[in-house]
């Protein structure tokens, strides 16, 4: 998704009655029919469905989910936000619909009015009628269930009223891009930054202390004063160019809160905690002669009654598909082993989260089963891996490696079956060198 362009000067916009060609010459006037059509449908109402020219230069069905006036523009200029769009002049925020399901909130984007085919405008849909398909036919129970699952993914803990409130509040992405270190990153989701940042489309982050600013000049002045070259806290792991820092949310409250603001831009299901005192943050960095640059992190509660060893996990987009996510998961379990406890990630897990964990559990458990001679119990596997017994059981059941024989459950470890499942689980990514981990479990200071 491209960043929002800022309207400049007196650039003509759709709706000023006159358009200009690229070289500045007057373009032929619009046909009367087209003008009448434009005036009859503008401004587009929230809920309107229309075809939009998307990044692939093809037209896709979208739904307007928000609109706003462009600052310093003529009265007829609007921004709109739809499930597939987002840009400048007359803007609509649209969501990719692919009738009747809104596919992915990451694709919500502001778009120019001239990207919309106004001849394809459909009347505003009554949300109560939307359970019918695009053809107007009543949807099957299976189709209805698929929509329900799409709408609540990652928010299973919310009731219907809370879910509607959450979606309404977060439906429009507020920050389009951020600058972090040497990367300009397009954001994915809404994040509740303080009100004074409501008019910002781009934020500039210090990559070391994570303070964020509205303007590049502010960041440049800050960088001349900021004496940090790595996250605050203790370096507990270094192997080659990789380092892990443990940051106490109580000792570094502002850093913890800024990290949560940043993470929420890329995590739809994350609940933002303003009280970061209760959490430890484990920040993974790539190190060079300029400092230690954050690539991702995970957080965990200092004291979890449910044995959670991970609350939130994120690999920043520029560093994804490099094995860092798998590394963070593995690292969380190495800490659990040091604590002498079994651990499990905080629930509910998103679909992608469950997929990542199921892959990790599969690789770890099947590696042990391949090498182990003789019988082994779920309890023994849990003691060896720090994986919670329930997670071991569900993983082996999903692989159909547990059978019920003579009144008890038995693990079936046929070598060929194990090899097939290991191949399907894929590579394990970067390995944690436990000999490089220097860490003692957290203890509350009296």
Catalytic residues: 346
Are 281 and 299 within 8 A, CB to CB?
A: yes
> How far is Cα 298 from Cα 314, in angstroms, rounded to an integer?
6
What DSSP character marks residue 138? B
Q: Cα dihedral sign for 191, 195, 201, 205?
A: negative
Are 370 and 415 within 8 A, CB to CB?
A: yes
Answer left, alpha or beta for residue 318, where phi above 0 means left and psi between -120 and 50 means alpha. Answer: alpha
User: Judging by beta carbons within 10 Å of its beta carbon (0-12, 13-18, 19+), is residue 141 exposed, middle or buried?
Assistant: exposed
> How far is Cα 330 from Cα 361, in angstroms, rounded to an integer?
10
Query: What are φ and ψ of residue 418, in 5° steps?
Result: -65, -45
Q: Tokens 């040497």 appear where?
A: 182
Tokens of 30: 């619009």
What DSSP character marks residue 206? -
Query: What would the 3-class secondary structure string for 295-359 be?
Result: EEEEEEECCCCCCEEECEEEECHHHCCCCHHHHHHHHHHHHHHHHCCCEEECCCCCHHHHHHHHH
Q: What are the start-end ranges of the H helices in 192-300?
A: 216-225, 253-264
**Within its chain, how far is the Cα of 285 from the centroid?**
19
Compute CA distances 244 → 23, 177, 376, whole Å: 54, 26, 34
150: helix, strand or coil: helix
> How far is Cα 411 from Cα 404, in angstroms, rounded to an integer?
9
Compute CA distances 324 → 123, 284, 296, 310, 330, whole Å: 46, 8, 8, 15, 10
Are 379 and 389 within 8 A, CB to CB?
A: yes
Q: Tokens 């990451």 appear where?
A: 106
Residue 257: cis peptide before it, omega within 30 degrees of 0: no
Cα-only R_g, the chain: 26
Length of the chain as a residue count? 446
């Amino acid at each position: 998704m491209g960043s929002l362009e800022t309207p400049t000067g007196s650039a003509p916009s759709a709706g000023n009655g006159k358009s200009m060609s690229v070289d500045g010459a007057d373009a032929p006037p619009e046909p009367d029919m087209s003008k009448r059509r434009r005036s009859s449908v503008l401004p587009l109402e929230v809920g309107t469905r229309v075809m939009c020219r998307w990044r692939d230069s093809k037209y896709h069905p979208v739904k307007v989910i928000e609109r706003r006036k462009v600052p310093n523009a003529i009265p007829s200029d609007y921004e709109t936000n739809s499930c597939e769009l987002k840009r400048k002049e007359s803007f609509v925020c649209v969501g990719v619909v692919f009738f009747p399901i809104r596919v992915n909130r990451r694709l919500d984007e502001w778009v120019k009015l001239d990207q919309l085919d106004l001849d394809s405008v459909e009347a505003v849909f009554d949300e109560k009628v939307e359970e019918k398909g695009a053809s107007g036919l009543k949807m099957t129970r299976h189709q209805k269930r698929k929509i329900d699952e799409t709408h609540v993914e990652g928010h299973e803990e919310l009731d219907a009223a809370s879910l509607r409130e959450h979606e309404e509040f977060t439906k429009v992405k507020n920050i389009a891009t951020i600058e972090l270190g040497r990367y300009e990153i397009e954001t994915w989701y809404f994040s509740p930054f303080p009100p004074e940042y409501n008019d910002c489309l781009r934020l500039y982050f210090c990559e070391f202390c994570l303070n964020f600013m509205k303007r590049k000049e502010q960041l440049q002045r800050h960088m001349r004063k900021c004496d940090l070259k790595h996250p605050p806290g203790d370096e507990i792991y270094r192997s080659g160019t990789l380092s892990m820092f443990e940051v106490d949310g109580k000792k570094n409250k502002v850093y913890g809160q800024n990290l949560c603001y940043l993470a929420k831009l890329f995590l739809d299901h994350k609940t933002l905690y303003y009280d970061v005192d209760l959490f430890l943050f484990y920040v993974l960095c790539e190190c060079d002669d300029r400092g230690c640059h954050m690539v991702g992190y995970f957080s965990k509660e200092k004291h979890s009654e449910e044995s959670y060893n991970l609350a939130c996990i994120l690999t920043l987009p520029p560093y994804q598909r490099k094995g860092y996510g798998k590394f963070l998961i593995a690292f969380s379990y190495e800490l659990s082993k040091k604590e002498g406890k079994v651990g499990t990630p905080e629930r509910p897990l998103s679909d992608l989260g469950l997929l990542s964990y199921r892959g990790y559990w599969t690789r770890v458990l099947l590696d042990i089963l391949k090498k182990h001679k003789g019988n082994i119990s779920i309890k023994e596997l849990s003691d060896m891996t720090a994986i919670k017994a329930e997670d071991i059981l569900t993983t082996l059941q999903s692989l159909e490696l547990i059978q019920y024989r003579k009144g008890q459950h038995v693990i079936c470890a046929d070598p060929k079956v194990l090899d097939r499942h290991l191949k399907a689980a894929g590579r394990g990514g970067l390995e944690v060198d436990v000999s490089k981990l220097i860490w003692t479990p957290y203890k509350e200071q009296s």
